[in-house]
Structure 1
């Protein structure tokens, strides 16, 4: 079974996070929601409380197939400031793990230099934080093992692209049909 980890911090964007988790789980991917806070209960940017599955310090990331960074402010800023997450991302990038970020989340990858020379997208206001990237303005963009997304309106495309990378075309078509995803 493929394993994906979605990182939560106070002020995460709920649609981006939960929509992605839902699509991946429907696709048979084991998803762990990981809090970088001191508690598993994390409050989103629109005051929706979510219970993460685990605290960062308690997770074994050795079998990670994907690391997912949701947007939301100040959630993305908290993720960007969390050194253990940044160290994990750099380690997993060397292993070719899928690194996916949506909305403001690509700032984390840009700050680590992982977007240098790559096509990427994010919420337009945050394009300057995608250091070294070629911003495309597309809803979703994949360049190598990095997947970026413009924002919550593209969560179906984002989640389904991750499913496609981890489980293949047949599974993505099944999930898209089950949720009546537009364009599939």
Structure 2
């Protein structure tokens, strides 16, 4: 078991990842850490302040990363160190998981080329923003969650399904399938 790294930046959608990180840490007993571009507080979409544990540059030197989780947030520029981290982890076949607009970073790093993925960011939204589309649209699949090998992407409204896709990939509920299923039913009111 390795470290779960969560990339955080200004206005990231913290609600999309709290369930996943809570259960990964407390049920899966994984080490969860945040990485930002700077060791400076960032303000999430909900208005909460978060202090990164490490910089993305520091995370590049870690050798025990089990997953990189990228929440949604605004469409924005991408720094080279994040691209380098994504490409390194992709080469190692480490779990890359992104939700809502988070797949933009995977797209810019080139790891979505020829890989099925989903996102909440439509071509119309990109056009309205007047920015270059970071997504290889030919591989886009209009589903709530898409798993393609070691890459999991999700639309923002599917944060519960995204969490459970991560749980399953990381075997968080190994030997506790009943607990996993009960949690899902309780959350989804089924």
Tell me, yes or no, whether TM beats 0.5.
yes
Is 1:83 aligned to 2:83, yes or no?
no
Partner of 2:169: 165
Q: 2:145 aligns with which of 140, 149, 154?
A: 140
Larger Rg: 2
Partner of 1:115: 112
Measured at CA, do residues 147 and 63 of structure 1 come closer, stay the same or move farther in structure 2, by a change above 3 Å?
A: same
Gaps of 5+ in 1: none
Indicate if the aligned counterparts of 2:56 and 2:85 stay in contact, CA closer than 8 A.
no
5 Å-filtered alignment, 1:53-132, equals 53-59=53-59, 60-73=61-74, 77-78=76-77, 81-125=78-122, 128-131=133-136
Q: Distance in 2 between matches of 1:172 and 1:9?
A: 34
Report how far residue 124 of structure 1 moved: 3.8
Partner of 2:3: 3
Q: Distance in 1 between matches of 2:109 and 2:58?
A: 24
User: 122-131 or 106-115, which moves further after superposition?
Assistant: 122-131
1:142 counterpart SS class? strand
Q: Distance in 1 between matches of 2:121 and 2:86?
A: 23
5 Å-filtered alignment, 1:33-48, equals 33-39=34-40, 41-48=41-48
Q: Distance in 1 between matches of 2:153 and 2:189?
A: 19
**Would you say how many aligned residue pairs link Structure 1 and Structure 2?**
178
Report how far residue 143 of structure 1 moved: 0.5
Q: Distance in 2 between matches of 1:110 and 1:95?
A: 17
Report how far residue 2 of structure 1 moved: 3.5
Q: 1:182 aligns with which of 161, 182, 188?
A: 188
RMSD over aligned CA atoms reads: 2.5
Indicate if the aligned counterparts of 1:163 and 1:172 stay in contact, CA closer than 8 A.
no
